[in-house]
A and B are shown apart, each in its own frame.
Chain A
Amino acid sequence: MTATDADLQPTRSFQGLILTLQRFWAAQGCVILQPYDMEVGAGTFHPATTLRALGPKPWKAAYVQPSRRPKDGRYGENPNRLQHYYQFQVILKPNPPNLQDLYLDSLRAIGVDLGLHDIRFVEDDWESPTLGAWGLGWECWCDGMEVSQFTYFQQVAGFECAPVAGELTYGLERLAMYVQGVENVYDLNFNGRDGDEKVTYGDVFLQAEQEYSRHNFEAADTEMLFRQFRDAETACRAYLKAGEPGPDSNDPRHRMAQPAYDQCIKASHVFNLLDARGVISVTERQSYILRVRELAKACGEAWRRTDAGGLAGEAPAA
């Protein structure tokens, strides 16, 4: 084993943990994607999950997704809470019958000894009101700590999932803290090196947590954000309309589902920022969530009329 291999042990470095999970799921036939290039609240928002969960086509993917939760910012002072953190996301459609076993194998791969640690599947029904999505599954506990979420998607964007996709979401920082035996997220060894060469999670992200907490709670320009929400909403609807097949077209496919969905993602994140700034009242909150959901539903509906969404095979009569 070279020095680099040792550094990249999942129990030794944060990046080693990520690389190990990527290799593990690549070996299961997943495409290993990169993070989506937009701000999202969870890995589920990545089109590789939200949109690909819809329609009949098989799909297997895994990726890291930086997730932004503006409200969870703690100015870098809380050892467990971050407004920006990483999720490792796996989506398998249809879910293989042995998905639980595969998940447990992935824990073994990252150095969790299942003869020593108490792994439990504890009921957790997942629901995303903004995505119009729900599923049944569990929180996965390791010695009393939630380390992953395991969900069988039943509905996305208001549509039944047929077939059902299995989704795994690993909380990477928590898992890394666990396997590295670290109490404070900022103490995580990021690159697996020692001494001068060691880079910690704090070296990479502490300043960002402080700055973004300030931004999220104190400075974010709410007037601009309200405007951006409206703009994103309008743009989403406009792109959906523009992507419709023309009245004379024989081709029923929608041609712009993904750009429209980007605007839905945007609206959702802007809403989260407004929420963190405390400028949305409880009643308004519901109506904003509903507005995002309407966008998600419209995008999902358009996606189902694309090739990747499953329309191929019902191609139009030429």
Chain B
Amino acid sequence: MPDLLLELFSEEIPARMQRRAAEDLRKLVTDALVERGFLYEGAKAFATPRRLALHVAGLPPRGQDVREERKGPRVGAPEGAVQGFLKSAGLASLDEATIVSDPKKGEFYVAVIERPGRETIEVLAEIIPAIVKSFPWPKSMRWGAASREPGSLRWVRPLHSIVASFGPETETPEVVPFSIDGVEVGFTTRGHRFLAPQPIEVRRFADYLPALERAFVVLDTERRKDIILHDARDLAFARGLDLVEDEGLLEEVAGLVEWPVTLMGAFDERFLAIPPEVIRATIRANQKCFVLRGKPGPDGRERLANAFILVSNLVASDGGAAIVAGNERVVRARLSDAAFFWETDRKVRLEDRLAKLENIVFHEKLGTQAARVARIAGLARALAPVVGADADLAERAARLAKADLVTEMVGEFPELQGLMGRYYAAEQGEAPAVAAAIEEHYKPLGPSDRVPSEPVSVAVALADKLDTLVGFWAIDEKPTGSKDPYALRRAALGVIRLVLASEARLSLRARIATAASGHGREADAFADDLLAFFADRLKVYLRDQGARHDLIDAVFALPGQDDLLMVVRRVEALGRFLDTEDGKNLLAGYRRAANILRIEEKKDGRAYDAAPDRALMSLPEESALAEALDRAGTAAAKAVAAEDFEGAMRALSTLRAPVDAFFDQVTVNAEDAGLRANRLALLNALRAATREVAEFSRIGGEGR
């Protein structure tokens, strides 16, 4: 079976786009083939800085012949019908049609249309240029003389040549015949920019990989990553050091080289006085190098080594000495800057930096960072008792939490915000809980980020997020669709995770009102909407944890549900209850009652919400249910008040037997109107009792 080899050779593709582009190429080509009825055995795509490549194995040489029978009019039909048939079937005359007889319909014409399958290579010649011309790069560009005209080819960087070869293994493959303006299509590619710049002929995938390897190109990103990781570990090991592994950086550097050559450089030991995170950020962000861990220091804490791993793209004629020396110079200059920042930043106390926050606008409608800090400090103080934190410490931490934004170090490395604040706070003798909270108040940053547990951190983290959410709701800047520029979804999820992890009891509605007053606003206008947003986020969160989102709806449908911890406890208890036989049966009984009520209430145009009258109960099952409802309703309400949701569910489970018995023995729609109304009222009482724990109407069916 023939294979397709496709390579798009361009100038350097941004590292962060390569993996996605390879995947897009594979999907677009194979989808287009399948759509046209061409199945294949396997497809794999690759990316290097200068090429996207695709191998599709096991394609048919041509598509399948298509045979179609089209029914026509009966024999002897009017001329118009016959002509229409001939035209639509593409026949010249009725001689080309066959006549089929059918016992019921008599004789009629049938056209047999046979279309031979198309040559695969022809189809590829259609598919490939179309995909190249509309490739979904996140950002693309025009170039060269062709860009004079509108509609010229766009690619991520200038595209120079294309290898597009198709054919069986045993024969010489052919060039897929298409052309794109200004781009050569054929069998020619190039190797490594410096190590093997000559053109190379490649005809099929089996030759392509080894030809590239000979020309100093490792095609597969995963292999380049393996080589880098393996060599880096070896180099570190030989020096008694440990590589600080960094998957994001590894992926990026693998996208910056076609032939990875891993080397080790060193820097002056005096720079180790700088916090290790700063060294790492400097070396990683600016130089895209890995740092190394040395032996633990005298205090037993882990220390970085004064060495780094760089990944070059060159087998240098001096063994890499000049490359290492060059990188060391740059690292030295960068670390000198960082050391300078570290020295000068510590000369000014954090509280003395606060005045500068007056000049930084947080958001044009939400005032300055200084105003924000004042609000967060007030909120943190108020929240402190709820999470078991010292109020003075929480307020102090909140006041200092944003001060590092105006340090030189954070100006240079924004990703170190919080962390630098912690270092500087510790250096100036703040309480450890305050220093920790300055770093941790940004957390959790995402669904998998660690949730702080130190109470002071929790108080400030909650205050920070509530202030942000309430502020943006107050000015009506809410997330829409995929747009969430202020990361408000993340903030709400952060509040949820903080509350649940610290088991903090708080009424969100009340806290929203407090936070709104900090903004000089009334919360009434948006509190419901913001609570609904929290409910949504909680649903997403619990669903990710495996909870049924219909149960969350069932709990949130009850009035006044703004205590996240209680909502979750209730959902959990409800889930467990509904997994029991009693729970399932009660739910079934509830549905039956609710259905009857819905139908009858609609029919009669009235609600049956009066208390059932014992005097009108003629059957023992009626009185039994009424009694059970009284007992269970009271017990459930009591248990809920005591936040004992398991107890509330247990109380409801006592209803199963009387409910079942009632439906077995009692005809609700009795002929006597009084009896009927009273029985409907009894069903209504059942519905009301279940509302003590959840809105059962929101619970989905089996298998949901």
Contact = CB atoms under 8 A, between A and B. Distances in A.
B partners with A? yes
Interface stretch (B96-104, B316-324, B459-467): B316-324
A281 B336 CA distance: 30
Contact of B327 (A125, A136, A143, A283): A143
A123 B142 contact: no
Contacts of A137: 157
Interface in B311-344: 312-314, 316-318, 322-323, 325-327, 329-333, 336-337
A123 B18 CA distance: 12
A145 B326 contact: yes
Interface SS, A side: loop
A152 B143 contact: yes
Contacts of B12: 121-123, 138
A145 B323 contact: no
B197 to A, nearest CB: 9
Interface in A227-248: none
Contact of B142 (A80, A96, A143, A164): A164
Interface in B560-579: none
A164 B327 contact: no
A123 B150 CA distance: 26
B333 A164 contact: no
A79 B333 contact: yes
A115 B194 contact: yes
A118 B144 contact: no
B141 A152 contact: yes
A23 interface: no
Interface string A156-167: 000001111010
Interface string A92-130: 001111001000000000000111111111110100000
B359 A282 contact: yes
Nearest to A114: B194
Contacts of A183: 329, 332-333
A125 B360 contact: no
A217 interface: no
Given A143-B330, A161-B147, A283-B364, A118 B15 contact: no
B147 A163 contact: yes
B333 A162 contact: no
Contacts of A201: none
Contact of A80 (B141, B157, B333): B333
Contacts of B669: none
A144 B143 contact: no
A142 B182 CA distance: 30
B543 interface: no
A123 B323 contact: no
Nearest to B146: A163
Contacts of B49: 121
A116 B147 contact: no
Contacts of A166: 143
Interface string B282-296: 000001110000000
A95 B144 contact: yes
A80 B257 CA distance: 28
B316 A154 contact: no
B14 interface: yes
Contacts of B501: none
B142 A142 contact: no
A135 interface: yes
A144 B330 contact: yes
A162 B359 contact: no
A173 B169 CA distance: 56
B256 A122 contact: yes
B11 interface: yes
B521 interface: no
A133 B310 CA distance: 34
A116 B323 contact: yes
Contacts of A152: 141-143, 157-158
Interface string B261-302: 000000000000000000000000001110000000000000
A121 B49 CA distance: 9
A94 B144 contact: yes
Q: Which of A94, A143, A161 has the most CB of B within 10 A?
A: A143
Interface in B346-369: 359-361, 364
A66 interface: no
Contacts of B327: 143-144
A283 B147 contact: no
Interface in A162-200: 162-164, 166, 178, 183
Interface string A73-89: 00000111000000000
A144 B194 contact: no
Contacts of B144: 94-97, 163-164
A128 B329 CA distance: 30
A154 B158 CA distance: 13
A118 B316 contact: yes
Interface in B180-194: 182, 194
Given A118-B316, A143-B326, A178-B326, 11 more contacts: A100-B11, A118-B313, A118-B323, A120-B257, A121-B11, A137-B157, A142-B326, A143-B330, A144-B331, A152-B143, A164-B144
Interface of A: 56, 78-80, 94-97, 100, 113-123, 125, 135-138, 142-145, 152, 154, 161-164, 166, 178, 183, 281-283
Please give me the 6 A-B residue pairs with the lowest Cβ-Cβ distance, nearest first. A143-B326, A123-B14, A121-B12, A144-B327, A118-B312, A163-B148
8 contacts: A97-B160, A113-B322, A118-B316, A143-B325, A144-B330, A152-B142, A163-B142, A183-B329
